[in-house]
C-alpha cells in the first residue's frame, strides 16, 4: 500500500577531494544516511499505518554530477521530502538539492575533526540566497567523530521536520471535494481555488448535493454493504431522546426511514471521495473512480437539510477511525463545507494520523458567568474560563476521549485503537433526532461529552484579502465539569450536539493573556481540534507552506522553522514569520 505515499530522500554529502579526504569520510557519511533512514522508518508512519519509506542516494554526493544522480534516482522513486546529512565540509551550491517544490533539511554533524557545521552554515546560506527555504539541524553537543548516535535534540528536529514535510508531500496532488457549495454564507465554504492550488498543490472538485439523490434513487451504492452497515448501526448506534417539542416530532416510521437515508449518505459520500471498485461491478465505472479526495466538505444547511435528513451521522462516522468495516483511517469531512476548517483538519490529521474534532467555537464562559449561572467556581485548568466547542450535530466518535494512552484519555491512530475502545466510544454516544427547527428534514445529531484531561490543540486557517492564508492555533486541555454544571450550560444551547469543554494554556503574551482573548481573537466560527500538543509541528508545517501564524501559545524552544527565517528577525518571531512568508510566497 505504501507505494502510493511519497518517500523521504536521504542525501549523504561529502568533501569531493579524492586521494585522502573523501576516502576517509565515505563510511561515516553513508553511515549517517543509513542511520537517519532507519530512525525515520522506525518512528514515522503513513496514514495507513505502514512505516514511512526512505530512499538513499546510490553514492555519497561530492559534486554536481552526483547531486544530479541522486535527483534522478529520487525522481523515479516518488521522493517528496529531502534530507541532506554530512559530517564534513562539502561544496554548498554544488551538492545541494535544488528542487524548490519540496521541503529540505540539512543535518550537519557537530564534530570538529571535520567541519559538518561549516557546510551546514554554507549550504543554508546558499538556500537562502537562492530562495529555497531549508531547515538546519545542528546538534547542541560536540560528538566523537566515530559516534553512531543521533543525539536526542537532532532526533526530535528530524521528526518534527519529517512529519511536517511528509504532510506537505502527501496532500500535494490530492483534491478537496465540495459536496454542495456555500452553507449559510459561511466564508470558509466559499472555496478559494487559488489558495488550494498555490499553497497546498491541491485541486478542487465539486459535486452538487443532488448527486446523493441520484445515487440513492438509482441504487448507485453497494447494496450488500448497505445492509451490513444498517444492521451494524442498529446494533451499535443508540438513538437518543427526541428533544423536539411534541408538535415537531416525527413518527417512528419516518425515523426508521431516515436511518436508512443517513447510512446511504455515508456510503455515497465516501464513494464520492475515494471511489469504490464495487460500483464498477454494478456497471458504474465512472462513479467507481471517485474524486481522489483527501478531504471533503458537506454543505448540508440549508439546501439539503431543509428537505432531507442532515449530514451529522455521515460526518461523524466518516471522520471516525472505525465503522461497520472495522478500524480504518478517518475520511476527513468538514461540516458546512467549511473548506478552511477542512484543510486545518487535514493539517492536524497528517501530523498525527488521528481523527479530528470539527467544532463551532461557540461560547466563552468566564469564571464569573459560570458561577452566576451554576453557582460553581471553575478550578484547575479551567480556572481562567472555558470555551464551549460544540458542532451543530457531528464530530468524530474518537472525540469522546474513550481511548487511552498510559491510562489517560486519548485519541490514537486507528491501528492502535482496541475493539473495546471503539465500542466504548460508541457506548458513550447517542444519536438524537435532529432539532427540527434547524433541520426541517430531520436526521440524527451526534451527542456526546468529551472526557476531560486530554491535551489538545485547536487550529484554524483564515483567508485575508491582500495577505492570503493565516493560521491560528491554541494548545490546551479538555476539561471535566461537574455533571450538573455541564448540564446547565449545555441546556442553554442545543443539548443534542457533541460538547468539548476546552481550557487554553495561558501565557502572559498577546492573545493568551486570558481565555477571553483567545476567543476574541479567533478568526472564524469553527476550529479543528486534534489530540496532543501539536502546535510546534503546525508551526513547522505552516512555515514550509509559507502560511504565517498570527497567534500561538507554543514555547519558543519548540519552534522550528527554516533557518532563513532568522534573517527576517530573531527578536519578534511573529513579525519575522509574516515577513518571511510574504517574501517567499506560496510554495507552488
Ligand atoms: C444549526 C445552526 O445553523 C448551526 O449550524 C450554526 O450555529 C453553525 O454551526 C454555524 O457554523
Ligand atoms: Mn458550524
pLDDT by residue (tens digit) across 52-86?
Answer: 999 999 999 999 999 999 999 999 999 999 999 99
Query: In whole angstroms, how large is the CA radius of gyration of the chain?
Result: 25
Of the candidates 529, 187, 243, 550, the residue with the CA atom closest to the CA atom of residue 389: 529
Mean pLDDT computed over 417-434: 98
Residue 217 annotated as lining a ligand binding site: no
Residue ranges with strand state E in 13-157: 54-56, 79-86, 104-108, 134-137
CATH number for 175-584 (one of 3.40.30.10, 1.20.1050.140, 3.20.14.10, 3.30.300.30): it is: 3.20.14.10
Whether the predicted pLDDT of 378 surpasses 90: yes
Whether the predicted pLDDT of 1 surpasses 60: no
Per-residue burial over 360-388, b if 16 or more Cβ lie within 10 Å, else e, is bbbebbbbeebeeebebebeebbebbbbb
Whether the predicted pLDDT of 2 surpasses 50: no
Q: In which residue ranges of the chain is CATH 3.40.50.1070 found?
A: 2-171
The answer to whether the CB of 360 is under 6 A from ligand 1 is yes
pLDDT of residue 393: 84
Q: What share of the chain in percent tops pLDDT 70?
A: 99
59, with CB counted inside 10 A (0-12, 13-18, 19+), is middle
113 vs 62, more confident: 62
pLDDT of residue 4: 87
CA distance 519 to 360: 12
Ligand 1 atom at minimal distance to the Cα of residue 494: 1
Ligand 1 center–CA 392 separation, angstroms: 5
CATH 3.60.21.10 fits 2-171, yes or no: no
CA distance 326 to 462: 35
The answer to whether the CB of 525 is under 6 A from ligand 1 is yes
Whether the predicted pLDDT of 102 surpasses 80: yes
Residues with catalytic function = 336, 360
Question: What value of ipTM does the predicted structure carry?
Answer: 0.97
Best residue among 186, 438, 440, 494 to mutate for probing ligand 1, ranked by most atoms within 8 Å of CB: 438
Whether the predicted pLDDT of 230 surpasses 50: yes
Which ligand has the minimum distance to the alpha carbon of residue 334?
Answer: 2
Q: Are 94 and 67 a contacting pair, CB within 8 Å?
A: yes
Sheet holding 134-137, edge to edge: 54-56, 7-12, 79-86, 104-108, 134-137
Report angle CA 294, 447, 254 to the nearest 5 degrees.
90
Q: In which residue ranges of the chain is CATH 3.20.14.10 found?
A: 175-584
**Which pLDDT band, with edges at 50, 70 and 90, does 207 fall under?**
very high
241, with CB counted inside 10 A (0-12, 13-18, 19+), is exposed
Mean pLDDT computed over 541-545: 98
Best residue among 341, 360, 393 to mutate for probing ligand 1, ranked by most atoms within 8 Å of CB: 360
Ligand 2 center–CA 522 separation, angstroms: 14
Ligand 2 center–CA 336 separation, angstroms: 6
pLDDT of residue 116: 86
pLDDT of residue 115: 86
**Which pLDDT band, with edges at 50, 70 and 90, does 213 fall under?**
very high
pLDDT of residue 3: 57
Which helix or strand (DSSP H or E) is residue 332 part of? strand 332-335
The answer to whether the CB of 438 is under 6 A from ligand 1 is yes
Q: Are 539 and 517 a contacting pair, CB within 8 Å?
A: no
In this structure, what DSSP letter does residue 506 have? P
Q: What share of the chain in percent tops pLDDT 90?
A: 98
Residues 500-524: pLDDT tens digits?
999 999 999 999 999 999 999 999 9
Amino acid at each position: 500500500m505504501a507505494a502510493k505515499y511519497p518517500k523521504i530522500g536521504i542525501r549523504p554529502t561529502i568533501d569531493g577531494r579524492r586521494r585522502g579526504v573523501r576516502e576517509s569520510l565515505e563510511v561515516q557519511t553513508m553511515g549517517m544516511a543509513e542511520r537517519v533512514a532507519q530512525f525515520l522508518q522506525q518512528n514515522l508512519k503513513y496514514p495507513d499505518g505502514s512505516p514511512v519509506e526512505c530512499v538513499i542516494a546510490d553514492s555519497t554526493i561530492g559534486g554536481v554530477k552526483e547531486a544530479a544522480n541522486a535527483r534522478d534516482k529520487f525522481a523515479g522513486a516518488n521522493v517528496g521530502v529531502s534530507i541532506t546529512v554530512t559530517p564534513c565540509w562539502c561544496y554548498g551550491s554544488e551538492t545541494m538539492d535544488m528542487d524548490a517544490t519540496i521541503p529540505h533539511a540539512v543535518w550537519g554533524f557537530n564534530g570538529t575533526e571535520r567541519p559538518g557545521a561549516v557546510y551546514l552554515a554554507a549550504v543554508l546560506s546558499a538556500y537562502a540566497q537562492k530562495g529555497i527555504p531549508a531547515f538546519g539541524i545542528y546538534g547542541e553537543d560536540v560528538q566523537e567523530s566515530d559516534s553512531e548516535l543521533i543525539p536526542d535534540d537532532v532526533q526530535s528536529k528530524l521528526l518534527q521536520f519529517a512529519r511536517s514535510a511528509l504532510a506537505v508531500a502527501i496532500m500535494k496532488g490530492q483534491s478537496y471535494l465540495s459536496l454542495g457549495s456555500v452553507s449559510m454564507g459561511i466564508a470558509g465554504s466559499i472555496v478559494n481555488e487559488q489558495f488550494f492550488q498555490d499553497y497546498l498543490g491541491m485541486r478542487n472538485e465539486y459535486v452538487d448535493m443532488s448527486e446523493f439523490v441520484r445515487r440513492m434513487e438509482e441504487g448507485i451504492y453497494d447494496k450488500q454493504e448497505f445492509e451490513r452497515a444498517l444492521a451494524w448501526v442498529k446494533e451499535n448506534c443508540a438513538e437518543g431522546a427526541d428533544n423536539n417539542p411534541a408538535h415537531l416530532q416525527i413518527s417512528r416510521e419516518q425515523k426508521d426511514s431516515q436511518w436508512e437515508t443517513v447510512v446511504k449518505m455515508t456510503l455515497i459520500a465516501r464513494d464520492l471521495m475515494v471511489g469504490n471498485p464495487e460500483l464498477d461491478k454494478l456497471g458504474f465505472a465512472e462513479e467507481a473512480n471517485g474524486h481522489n479526495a483527501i478531504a471533503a466538505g458537506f454543505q448540508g444547511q440549508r439546501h439539503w437539510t431543509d428537505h432531507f435528513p442532515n449530514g451529522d451521522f455521515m460526518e461523524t462516522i466518516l471522520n471516525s477511525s472505525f465503522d461497520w468495516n472495522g478500524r480504518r483511517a478517518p475520511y476527513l469531512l468538514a461540516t458546512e463545507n467549511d473548506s478552511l476548517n477542512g484543510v486545518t483538519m487535514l493539517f492536524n490529521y497528517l501530523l498525527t494520523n488521528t481523527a479530528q474534532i470539527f467544532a463551532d467555537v461557540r461560547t466563552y464562559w468566564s469564571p464569573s458567568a459560570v458561577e452566576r449561572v451554576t453557582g460553581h467556581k471553575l478550578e484547575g485548568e479551567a480556572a481562567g474560563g472555558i470555551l464551549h466547542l460544540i458542532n451543530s450535530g457531528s464530530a468524530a466518535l474518537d472525540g469522546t476521549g474513550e481511548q487511552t494512552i498510559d491510562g489517560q484519555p486519548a485519541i490514537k491512530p486507528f491501528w492502535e485503537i482496541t475493539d473495546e475502545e471503539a465500542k466504548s466510544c460508541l457506548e458513550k454516544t447517542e444519536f438524537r433526532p435532529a432539532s427540527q427547527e434547524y433541520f426541517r428534514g430531520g436526521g440524527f445529531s451526534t451527542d456526546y461529552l468529551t472526557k476531560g484531561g486530554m491535551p489538545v490543540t485547536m487550529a484554524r486557517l483564515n483567508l485575508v484579502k491582500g495577505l492570503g492564508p493565516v493560521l491560528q492555533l491554541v494548545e490546551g486541555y479538555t476539561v471535566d465539569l461537574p455533571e450538573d454544571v455541564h448540564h446547565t450550560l449545555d441546556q442553554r444551547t442545543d443539548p443534542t450536539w457533541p460538547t468539548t469543554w476546552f481550557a487554553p494554556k495561558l501565557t502572559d503574551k498577546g492573545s493568551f493573556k486570558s481565555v477571553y482573548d483567545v476567543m476574541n481573537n479567533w478568526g472564524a466560527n469553527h476550529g479543528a481540534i486534534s489530540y496532543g500538543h501539536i502546535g510546534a509541528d503546525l508551526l513547522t508545517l505552516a512555515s514550509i507552506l509559507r502560511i504565517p501564524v498570527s497567534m500561538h501559545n507554543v514555547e519558543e524552544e519548540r519552534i522550528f522553522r527554516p533557518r532563513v527565517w532568522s534573517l527576517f528577525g530573531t527578536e519578534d518571531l511573529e513579525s519575522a514569520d509574516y515577513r518571511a512568508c510574504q517574501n517567499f510566497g506560496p510554495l507552488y
